[in-house]
Amino acid sequence: MAKETEMQSNFIYTLISKDVAEGKNDGRVHTRFPPEPNGYLHIGHAKAVLLNYKLAKAFNGKFNVRFDDTNPVKEEQEFVDSILEDLRWLGVDWEDRLYYSSDSFELKYEFARRLIQAGKAYVCDLSPEEIREYRGTLTEPGKESPYRNRSVEENLDLFERMRKGEFPNGSRVLRAKIDMASGNLNMRDPVLYRILHVEHHRTGDTWCIYPMYDFDHPFTDALEGITHSLCSIEYTDHRPLYDWIVENALELMPEVIKTRSRQTEFARLNLTYTVMSKRKLRRLVEEGYVSGWDDPRMPTISGLRRRGVTPEAIADFQEKAGVARADSTVSLELLEHCIRNDLNTRAHRVMAVLDPLKVVITNWPAEKTEMLTLENLPGNKAAGTRQVPFGRELYIEREDFLENPPKKFFRLSPGKEVRLMGAYIIKCEKVIKDEDGRVVELHCTYDPETKSGSDKSGKKVKGVIHWVAAAQAARITVRMYGNLFTKENPEAEEDFTACINPHSLATLENVPAEPAAASAPPGTRFQFMRKGYFYLDPEDLKKGKIVYNYTVGLRDSWAKMQK
RNA sequence: UGGGGUGUCGCCAAGCGGUAAGGCACGGGACUCUGACUCCCGCAUUCGCAGGUUCGAAUCCUGCCACCCCAGCCA
């Protein structure tokens, strides 16, 4: 039986528990993640990967990774590499079981031969257009191919010659002989093999006929001993064919096929304010709406990684979003919650002022710099402390000062006091404006009795704001990201590019930050106090530029109150 | 009378005949040198609709409605 597990109850978990209890497959649980190497992984794939992986773990089973590389026209090594990198980053472990469908092309060829010998498959000479016509429609049955009743000998001969390359692309296919009148179109003599004179990224020019998914997938699952083959809802209609293949493989290839693998479908993940289809993601990249597959605004694994999201947050999200069969769209807020939740306990704190307003502490000596000690993770001694310089000229966030503050505004305003985080309480004495009336500088005084950690003043101020000493400030670049789309469901739009958010990226240059922000290693995640979480971009750092990507903001109940 | 699938709180989602879990969001309060975090409290007399069976139904039956998928030699 299953051990204690982090998994929330879901229908697949329940189903597997039942199978194990009944002793199916000798109580073995073996899952797999079968990506096609024709694109980058996105968070929807992460759901599938983690589900498969965690299910295997929960039942002490095994988990394979298998590239579904049966269509050399669309597949490339580049994608194999990126997928593997993303999978490793996600933290799944396939041990030594990394497979490719193409590893077993020879066995599949043999299986196809045996289907022919059993009278269950035939070579069809119909053109693609004719096959479509013969297939019938959703409401009318199809009709049988004139080649359906060829002799076993002729079929074997033709199939062998297909393999040898005697025929051009599209001239012939191998089909299963099932039922042209089935209400399920997948059962109307589905194509098993097609001729493709195309070089394969792994098998080169060894083959010019390639198996179709419906033939290859069930066979490969059974071959690998997969007990539970999870896939998305749109394959539900394929299940009868999946079973047909497995049953025949069990019967005709008993020397290698021993597992009656079963397919179970679940709903794919949709997220608000983004798109998930490979085709649309590709358009975003190719038409330059984003900088690449790893643009931090992309829902790809590489994009999320470069945004600063952690694999732990993704796993938590996957768990919290759940699994079911109903179509659903999870709100982005849940993902953001999981990211904050994770980063809150691990991202060291640092101060940076995104929209600076200069403050002069008039009673602070011009040349004096005091080093203050701040905790990296307030409340967590183990995370240590850092030194932060304090001086006469500082920057504070422009929005933290209001000349005419509304009620309940706890920050700085004329004649009012506020605490500079980790430093002193200051009082705003004078507001300096330019000729246009814009506030350009504040003159304040500090109270020496109020030093953080040794306050002897007894003052209680409600507001605490972050700041950066001007003289020692590091200058960093910050990329602020917003949702890529302005509509919750871009997929529902006539043209999804029409609702692309033109303000999804704002680059802030020369952002003053405390020195620690300039000496962090690539990939560091910080919380810029009171602003949000930020990720030190490794790609830009390689080029010598310190750029922080906005991961997610802190919740802001003040902003909410203003609405 | 094509076939298949799904409908439980704004968004996810448990529930499997015994009288509606949980998370996110939201509202209120406490705490706070992050208006963050944390902590309390609130949030479906009701489970697509209508009938029926039953002492008892979100769970069983019947009918209806809505939405999604399928006519690639893609996966």
* Per-domain boundaries in chain A: 4-266, 278-348+475-562, 354-465
CATH 1.10.10.10: does it fit domain A354-465? no
Give the C-alpha separation, A73 to A24, whole Å.
38
Position A8 scores a pLDDT of 74
**Distance in angstroms: CA A61, C1' B12:** 28
Position A6 scores a pLDDT of 58
Do residues A199 and A72 make contact, with C-beta atoms less than 8 angstroms apart?
yes
Give the C-alpha separation, A47 to A10, whole Å.
13
Token duo for residue A104: 């077993």
A329 touches strand B (CB under 7 A): yes
Structure letter (DSSP) for residue A139: S
A9 touches strand B (CB under 7 A): yes
A8-32 tens-digit pLDDT: 789 999 999 999 999 999 999 999 9
Flag residues 295-324 of A with CB < 7 Å from strand B.
320-324
Give the C-alpha separation, A411 to A420, whole Å.
10
DSSP β-ladder status, A393-397 and A467-469 = antiparallel
A278-348+475-562 shares the fold of A4-266: no
Does the interface ipTM go beyond 0.95? Answer: yes
- Name the one residue in this structure whose structure tokens are 């998305």: A232
A278 belongs to the catalytic site: yes
- Look up the CATH number of domain A278-348+475-562: 2.40.240.10
Flag residues 216-275 of A with CB < 7 Å from strand B.
217, 233-238, 267
A463 touches strand B (CB under 7 A): yes
Token duo for residue A351: 């101060």
Position A2 scores a pLDDT of 31
A36 belongs to the catalytic site: yes
Which parts of chain A sit beneath pLDDT 70?
1-6
Q: Which of A143, A148, A268, A280 does the annotation list as catalytic?
A: A268
Strand order of the β-sheet with A356-361 is A464-465, A417-420, A425-433, A439-447, A356-361, A393-397, A467-469
Burial class (CB in 10 A: 0-12, 13-18, 19+), A473: buried
Q: Which of A97, A114, A278, A320 does the annotation list as catalytic?
A: A278
Between 3.40.50.620, 3.40.50.920, 3.30.360.10, 1.20.950.20, what CATH number should domain A4-266 receive?
A: 3.40.50.620
Give, for A440, the enclosing helix (H) or strand (E). strand A439-447
A181 touches strand B (CB under 7 A): no
Do residues A188 and A135 make contact, with C-beta atoms less than 8 angstroms apart?
yes
Do residues A318 and A50 make contact, with C-beta atoms less than 8 angstroms apart?
yes
Position A5 scores a pLDDT of 42
- Name the one residue in this structure whose structure tokens are 């982090």: A6
Do residues A326 and A268 make contact, with C-beta atoms less than 8 angstroms apart?
no
Position A4 scores a pLDDT of 36
